[in-house]
Each structure stands twice: as C-alpha cells, then as structure tokens.
Structure 1
Amino acid sequence: MHCVAILVLDDVVPFDMAAPMQAFDWTRLPDGRRPYRVRLCAESPEVRTEGLALRIDRGLEALESADTIIVPGRSEEHGPPSERVLAALRRAAGAGTRIASVCVGAFVLAEAGLLDGLRATTHWIAAAELARRHPRVEVQPDVLYVDNGQILTSAGAAAGLDMCLHMIRRDLGSAVAAHAARMCVVPLEREGGQAQFIVHERPPVPRGSDLEPLLEWMEDNLGGEVTLGAMAARAGMSERTFSRRFREQTGTTPLQWLLRARVRRAQYLLENGDHSVERIARQAGFGSPTAFRERFRRVVGTTPYAYRAAFHGKPAAPAARA
C-alpha cells in the first residue's frame, strides 16, 4: 500500500489539506481495495489554524516511511518553517520520495531548496513573491500544476485536487483516477497546463523600482513595436545588463513582461467591448490575429473567442412581463 503523508504546519490552510485527503481516500482499485494510506504528520502534536486546533498523532518521523509527501499551504504570519521541517523534507527528497505542494506550500519546498532549477507554480497572487524570494526557481504563474517527476507543485486548493488526480492517474491509470474524480465530484480532464485564467492587472514590480518609468512607457506603447533594444536604450543600459536587472526586479524577462501586459490589455478589451478579434490584436500590439490567438491561448489557456464568451460583461436582460 502506498503511504501518503500530509505535512501539517502551523496555520495550515484547511482546504489545501482537505483536497489531497479527499482524493487519495476516495481512490479504489477495481476489486475495491484501497491503494493509498493517508497519514497526517506534524512537527508538534497540536497545530493551530484559524478557528481550528488539530491534534496530530504522528511526528516528522512519518515522512521517512512515506512514498508521497504533500505540503499544504499555510499563512505567512508564522514566518519560514523550522530547520527541522526543512531538513526532514531534504532527507525525504534525497531518498527519492515524491513530494508535492498545494498552493503556497510551494514556498516551503523552495525554502528547502527542492525547487532550485525546476519549474514550479503557486497561487497566482503569490507567484511574483515566490519568484522574487527564490530566483533559482522558474515560476510559472498561469498553470494549474507542474509535474517535474519527483517534485510537483500546484496552484490553489482546486488545482491541488487536479494535481492529486494526476498523480493517481500516473500511479494507477486513467480508469482508477476517473473513479476517484467521480467520487470527488470533479472533472478529471483539467490538465496541468490549463491556465488559472488570471493575469495581473499590472505585471508585478517592486514599489520604488527604477524601472517603473520604463514600465509605464511600455504599457503606454503596447500597440506599437517595443523591442528589447528599445527598452534597454530607454533604460540607458546594454541589453544584457538590462535583461539581468529586469529579471532581478520583476522575476521575469522583459519580453515575457511585455507579453503579459499585452494579454492583460486584450483581456480587458474582450471583457468590456465588442471590437473584433482582429482589431483587438492590433490594439494590444500582437501584429496579426494569428499571433494574437496563439499567444493568448498559450498564456490564458483558452481562445480569445472562448474567453469573451465566458467573461464578457453584458447587462442582464429585463425580466419578461406576465
């Protein structure tokens, strides 16, 4: 039987903890047997969170016998996890244990150094902070989950459930995973690369950054041709120095920042107007409708037409009179 250990830290997010418990507890083999044994473990016997006090029977030693470790999200108010927790995760990773995080649990894995050099995701609202604190992590803020093989990360609680179903499918096949999904009353079809459907209103940059005037100029000129050379010249730097400084301050490259700003402009136009996709492509600076459709789908995870159908804000029709 495969042992799944859920590491419960102080101020754990209950929903982030419940998602993997539900997914693995509901899994059954065709003959009715349970393939997973779920265990909660913690550094101390009692863990407190908002409105709850949890008694945990197993300590960190339970991680040593686990086949999979799940790290749910937790509040940042308690600061980084203890060195005992980080060391236990490093030992488990060194032994080949599969380790996954839900939502901002990715910060714990990053603190342990388990995400260095890897792709990772977290809730979109925390993605910029994860990239800022851990520049060696390739943060992908717009996907539901990322599977690196031994190490996995997911966005919010719902995406954590998607990730767990993905692991079940990887372990036991699609039929078993589909049954687990039905028991959890969720679809199995949401793949990891599907977008969170969130792009920041303004791609993040630290307040007071010397890049702010340049970023404002970039946003004012989204409809035109903004090249790396033009950005570097305006910043008074070489392209190489500018690219390095830009990534240090924003957690992404200049061209990726520009792409997300253009996508956000396109999202706004799709949500609030009735212009054609061809016109929106020009207004947002994509050059051609074909390039617009391809890049919009890559960032948002759906087509401009489907996005407009889902999010276009139209006034409700008046009620019919009797």
Structure 2
Amino acid sequence: MAQRTVLLVLFDGVQSLDVTGPLEVFSGAEAQVPGTYRLRTATLDGGPVRTSSGLTLVPDTSLADEAVPHTLLVPGGQGTRAPDPRLTDWLREHGPHSERLVSVCTGAILLAEAGLLDGHRVTTHWAYCAKLARDHPSVEVDPDPIYVRDGQVSTSAGVTSGIDLALALVEEDLGRDTALTIARHLVVFLRRPGNQAQFSAQLAAQTARREPLRDVQHWITEHPADDLGVEALAARAGLSPRHFARAFRAETGTTPGRYVDQVRLEHARRLLEDTTGGIEQISRTSGYGTPEAMRRAFLKALGTSPAEYRRRFRPAATPDRRTSAP
C-alpha cells in the first residue's frame, strides 16, 4: 500500500482542535499500520503560528517546500475571517492536484475563497453556513450534517466533527477495525454518521418566548411516547390547534410535527447508543409505536436503520452506561 501524505495547513488564528483532532486520528492510524500516512504541517513561510486560543504551533515546513499531498487538510478558526491572500492563492494553485481536499469547521471558507468548492455539496460550522452560501452561490451549502463527502471534497462542521471525518477517511483507507481501534483509544464512538445533525432538537429550534409554548417544548422532550399531536399539544398550551400551530412555528422556527419528529429521533438515538434495550422496546419508549415506524424514520433522517446505527455508534466492546432503556 502506497504511503499517503496528509498535509495540514496552518495559519495565524487557526483553531487548535481543528488541527490536533484529525492529526491524532491519522497518527493513530500510522501507529497501527506503519508506513500508511506521512503527516506534515506547513505554513506559508515555515514559521510558527499562534492559534485562536493562544497556543503556538511550529510547523514542519513551508507550503512552498511541500510536494502535492494525497490529502490536503484545511482547518478553521478566527484566521479564516480575513484570510491571507497568499494562502488563498496557494490553495487555488495546489488544491486541485490533491486526491482529497478536506476542511474542518470554517476551513471550508478558505477552500471556497480559492474556488475549490464550486459545484460541490459542503457543510461548515452552523454559525457560518449562511455566510458561506451567501458569499459563494455556486457552492451548495448543507447546514445540517456534521460532515459531507462529495467526490474529491470532504467538509465538516465544528471541531469534534473533524475527528469523525478523519475516522471516516481512515476507515475508507484501512478498514473498520483500524478505525475502531483509534476511536476506542481516543474514547470516541466509531463513528457518527456524516448525516447526523449538528444540533440536538432542543438546540436546533428556538426556545419559545411565551411560557405556555415553552412548557410544551419541555413536555415534548420529557414525554416522547405520549400523544403529541397538534390537538393534544394545543390543549396543553390552552390554545386552539390552529393558533397553537401558527404560534409554535413563529416562535420556534419549526412546526410542532417536525419538532416532535426531531425529539423522538434524538431520544431513540440516545437509547440505541447508551442502552441495551431491544429495538421494539426503544420504538415504544421513543413514541414510534412499532419497530417499522422507527425504521422508516431513521432511514428518512439518517439514511440507515436503527440496528445499523447501533452497530456503528455503539461498538460491542464499549461498556454500557445504562443497562436497559428506561
């Protein structure tokens, strides 16, 4: 197997975890299968840079002295807000020659500025998705997934999703067993599916201003198996169904039905990850009623079945945090 060079681009204001997270994954893979990866860090001039948290990183070399890598990884951070034009020019010239272009967090902005994301479906940190889409209309920005792989280009959301994406790349290169060993060593799950949402349902939706609607939101979260139809929720809020549905959407940014769907999906995911409860039991506890209904919901939202989700997200060797579903 040919050795793959992974080059991480460093710059002032880089987010340190965007660098060290993927670096730990690839270095773990190199330790498991020596000769697999050649890891390099580089800056424009070969000099040290200061991260957004104040750490100083000393690179291996300058970008000018590095050959075209197999995998070019661009992290994010405050330094992407006003990028050095010389860095953008370097990416524009050299990026297309790498077999894989990878970004973590707002590193996608640098790739977009270099014209390397045109025509691709991508993601970035949720706070910058709208800006990326507005500034680069030829880029298809998906604000929901934790990472997106589209041909040569792979982009990820916040800092921890860079680890998830790196694990996915290692699994592609070296197989699941190697990636699983690395994930266990780093005490992370192998692996969050790329289309898993960046937010939990409670974070994705706004919190309602009015207390009755806010109370209903809490009720939904705490009672996913109850009757959560619009009429039942409206009665709990003391409003007519029509008024409730309109007010809920206006104050939370989503419909009652979609919010319920998100809460139930999140509840089921958590039970699959954290418990040994059976699929039928979890489907009832999460409000789906039947395993088939839960299966359809998982396929629609995550592109995978509940059983496959559990297999990926909760390795058999991972100790239980609870022994059964509540």
TM-score by length of 1: 0.65
Counterpart pick for 2:227 among 258, 269, 276: 276
What corresponds to 2:156 in structure 1?
154
Cα deviation 1:46-98 (Å, max 9, x = unaligned) = 2122322222231113553311011111205x743233222222233332431
- Would you say the 8 A contact 1:71–1:100 is kept in 2? yes
Instruction: Map 1:98-137; keep pairs closer than 5 Å.
Output: 98-137=100-139
- For the residue of structure 1 that corresponds to 2:34, the secondary structure is coil
Point out where structure 1 has 5 or more consecutive residues left out of the alignment: 203-263, 287-291, 311-322
Change (3 A) 1:132 1:34: same
Point out where structure 2 has 5 or more consecutive residues left out of the alignment: 207-213, 235-240, 249-254, 274-326
How much has 1:272 moved relative to structure 2? 7.6
Change (3 A) 1:86 1:276: same
Distance, in Å, in 1 between the alignment partners of 2:163 and 2:101 is 15
Distance, in Å, in 2 between the alignment partners of 1:159 and 1:295 is 25
Distance, in Å, in 2 between the alignment partners of 1:98 and 1:301 is 35
What corresponds to 1:36 in structure 2?
37
Please tell me the residue identity of whatever aligns with 1:157. Answer: V
Cα deviation 1:175-204 (Å, max 9, x = unaligned) = 2211221222211131100111256556xx
What corresponds to 1:26 in structure 2?
28
**After TM superposition, what 4+ stretches of structure 1 lie above 4 angstroms from structure 2?**
198-202, 264-269, 272-275, 280-286, 292-298, 307-310
What corresponds to 1:68 in structure 2?
71
Counterpart pick for 2:60 among 36, 42, 57: 57
Distance, in Å, in 2 between the alignment partners of 1:162 and 1:89 is 24
- The alignment yields a C-alpha RMSD, in angstroms, of 3.7
- For the residue of structure 2 that corresponds to 1:195, the secondary structure is coil
Change (3 A) 1:140 1:51: same
How much has 1:172 moved relative to structure 2? 1.7
How much has 1:122 moved relative to structure 2? 1.0
Distance, in Å, in 2 between the alignment partners of 1:101 and 1:108 is 9
How much has 1:14 moved relative to structure 2? 0.7
How much has 1:141 moved relative to structure 2? 1.0
How much has 1:106 moved relative to structure 2? 1.0
Check if 1:303 corresponds to 2:257. Answer: no
Range with bigger deviation, 122-131 or 144-153: 122-131
Change (3 A) 1:71 1:96: closer
Please tell me the residue identity of whatever aligns with 2:26. Answer: F
How much has 1:273 moved relative to structure 2? 7.8
TM-score by length of 2: 0.64
- Would you say the 8 A contact 2:77–2:107 is kept in 1? yes
| Percent sequence identity over aligned pairs | 37
Please tell me the residue identity of whatever aligns with 1:278. Answer: G
